[in-house]
Each structure stands twice: as C-alpha cells, then as structure tokens.
Amino acid sequence: MKKNKALEKIQQRCQALYEDLNLATVRAWKAEAPGRKAIGFMPVYIPREILHAAGILPVGLMGADIEIIRGDAYFQSYICHIPRSTIEMAVNGSLDALDGVIFPSICDVIRNLSGMWKMMFPDKYSKYLDLPQNFTPGLAGEYYIAELRTLAADMERLSGHRITDDALRESIRLYNRNRELVLELYDLRAEKPWQVRTVELYLLLRAGNLLPVEEHNAMLEAYREAIEGEERQALDNSRIVLTGAFCEQPPLGLIHTIERSGCYIVDDDFVLGSRFLTAPIPEEGDPVANIAQTFLDHAMETPFVYIAEKEKGEALVRQCRRRRGEGVIFSAASFCDPALLDQPMVSAAVEREGIPYTEFKYAENTGQFQVIKEQTGTFSDSIKLWGNE
C-alpha cells in the first residue's frame, strides 16, 4: 500500500510537469540561486552534459497541444505543428524562463526555426547545432569537437562558470546513469508491458525535460522501486513497436488510445534524446572528445541520421526481434520529412521480414482518436488471429 502511494506520488508529479507549459518548475529552479540560467532545446538530441557542467539547466522543448493564436501566422498549412506551438509559447511568454534555445539539426523546419529565433528574440541566446552526418571514421571528429568547444564556450559565457574537465566528467557520469535508468525501464517494459505502462514511462521521460538530471535520476529509481511492488493484470494484448514519433509528440490521449485498443507498446521513439546514444560516454580522458566520439560511434539509427552502409530498416527489425515485437506501428507527425521519407524504405524492410505493420499520421493537437483506436485495435486483433501464419 505504501508503494502504491509512492507510485501515485510519482505519477502526479510527472503529470504536473507534463502540464507545466509555463515552465514554473524552471522558474522555481532558477529562483533557488541567483544567476542560474536555463537553456531550452528542441528535439531530438543535444549534449546536455555540456550545459549541465556549466551549471545550466537543459530544458527539453517538445511543443504542446495548446490553442494556437499567433503561431499559425508564421507557418504555412503544409508545415508540421511543433514549430507553431513553440512559437506560440515563445510569443505568449511561456518560455520567458529560458535564456536561450538550442536547435539541433534534425530537419529543415527546425533548422529554419533557429533563424526565426535569432530574428524574433535577438536578446536571447540561439544556436543551431549542426550534428555531423558523415559517419565515415575519422572524418567528422575534429569538426564536431570544435562545434562542441564553441558550445561550451558559449555556455561558460552565459553562465559565468568555467567548465572544467572534472565537472564535465561528472556531468557525463550523471547522464550516463540517466540513460542507463531509462534503458532499464525500457527493458522492464518489454519484459512486462502490463507492469510498466507506456503512458507512465512516457510521462517519466517528459519529466526529464524539466528536471535537473540528479532529480530525474532519483525519480527514475523511485519509480522502478515503486513499480516492482505493484501487481498489475497482464492482458492478452499484441506486442508492438511504435516508430516515427521522435520529434513532434502525439497527444497523451493518443498513447492511451493505442494501449487501450489492445496494443502493448514494447518499444518506441518518444522523447528519443533521453537514449539517443546507445553506449555510455567514457568517463575518463578528454570529456569533449568522448562526447563527440560516442555520438559518431553510437548514435541511434533513426530517420534523421544518415545511414551510410547499413541496410535501411535493419535497426527497426533488430529492435523488433529484441523486444519480441509482433508488429510495427508507423506513427509519424503530419508533414514530418525525416519520418515520412524514411517510411517506405523501413516499412519494406519490415515487410520483407514478415513483420506486420500499420501506419497513421497525427499532429500534437490531434483531438479525435476513435479512428486510430479502431485501426490499432484491428491491427492488434489481426496479429492475434493471424500473426503466426
């Protein structure tokens, strides 16, 4: 009973953080000590360790399902939704707690949003972080290290704190632990999906967008402990891997809908920055070089990363096998170039392997889930009925 209360408390905290669109949590953190700075970042991945080592709070921005009043005036109808809500929140003051925003390279929309930010908020820090796309060994290392050193110098200037190697190594250690804890929960969910509900796991990851990593690590550990004492009923659901939702996030209701339609999500790419590096960053040696090299050697194979030699879709098939996925749901945001351009190649690979799949598009403000419920419910039923044929 005690553990249930612990779980309930974590759930409530996560839900409150998810709904904290005005970044009250960030304001409170900044108010605890004078001079503290917070920097937002767009999906998917930035080296948060560098910000942390400068004493800066990295804040993950993932858009929101909010009423758009001014954001639509900046984007044509054929552009995805996340830049609209992001601009909306910026112009309505919701993001005022941020001292700047980093825009990692993921697509042309996020890239151009970085330039819009420079024009619209000239007094705030704004950085386009061009992650290397040439993964041929030895080619991109020096460039990326130089980019990271520039970022580190910017963070030092902004925070007034020098980033020592030791501080950066400590930050690496904390984020390695964070990735480890997240992956353990992903493993546990794949093992017992009835025990770790995706909605809960998703909200835990979203909490990591706002909390200092030390606090988030403690929360992940507490959840793990709390969930192990829970007894939840296993259902006769299908095990599916969901892919395509790495940037603009679906509304929470849509994740609920998929689960309730008879699908256990046993792997996904929600809030992907939390586990984008598939190996820990070495904690000894030159920390900047280690961050760079780990990215080059162990970046996750996703639609926004150029895949040089490997076969397209191989990673998803592997993921599906490892998680004992019985089917794949391609769930991309409307007008998402990386996901939608990738999909024909990856779905062909999945099909070649005899893995069933279905696909739909969403936007972060999708309000009607009935059609999707019918689609994923039918998909789940079809796996149950004919999946082994």
Q: Which residues are at the interface with other proteins (CB under 8 A)?
A: 73-76, 78-79, 83, 103, 105-109, 111-116, 118-120, 127-130, 132-134, 136, 138-140, 142-143, 146-147, 150, 303-304, 306-308, 312, 334-338, 340-345, 347-348, 361
CB of 218 to other proteins, least distance (A): 35
CB-based contact 346:318 (threshold 8 Å): no
Among residues 24 and 116, whose Cβ is nearest to other proteins?
A: 116
d(CA 321, CA 351): 14
Among residues 78 and 386, whose Cβ is nearest to other proteins?
A: 78
CB of 118 to other proteins, least distance (A): 5
Among residues 64 and 336, whose Cβ is nearest to other proteins?
A: 336
Burial 168-190 (b: 16+ CB within 10 A, else e): bbbbbebbbbbbebbeebbebbb
CB of 44 to other proteins, least distance (A): 13
CA distances from 25 to 94, 202, 332, 346 (A): 12, 19, 30, 39
Among residues 103 and 186, whose Cβ is nearest to other proteins?
A: 103
CB of 143 to other proteins, least distance (A): 4
Strands 263-267 and 238-243: parallel
By C-alpha distance, which of 302, 365, 333, 343 is closest to 66?
365
Among residues 115 and 285, whose Cβ is nearest to other proteins?
A: 115
Among residues 4 and 133, whose Cβ is nearest to other proteins?
A: 133
CB-based contact 216:208 (threshold 8 Å): yes
Among residues 25 and 249, whose Cβ is nearest to other proteins?
A: 249
CB of 330 to other proteins, least distance (A): 10
CB of 136 to other proteins, least distance (A): 6
Which residue type is seen at 2? K
d(CA 365, CA 113): 20
CB of 18 to other proteins, least distance (A): 27
CB-based contact 296:141 (threshold 8 Å): yes
CB of 302 to other proteins, least distance (A): 12
| Structure tokens given for 318 | 């592997």
Among residues 69 and 146, whose Cβ is nearest to other proteins?
A: 146
CB of 98 to other proteins, least distance (A): 18
Q: Residue written as tokens 């050697």?
A: 297
> Going edge to edge, which strands form the sheet with 263-267?
263-267, 238-243, 327-333, 357-362
By C-alpha distance, which of 45, 365, 8 is closest to 209?
45
d(CA 320, CA 322): 6
CB-based contact 80:109 (threshold 8 Å): yes
Among residues 29 and 362, whose Cβ is nearest to other proteins?
A: 362
Half-sphere exposure of 114 (CA within 13 A, CB side): 19
Q: Residue written as tokens 């849509």?
A: 254
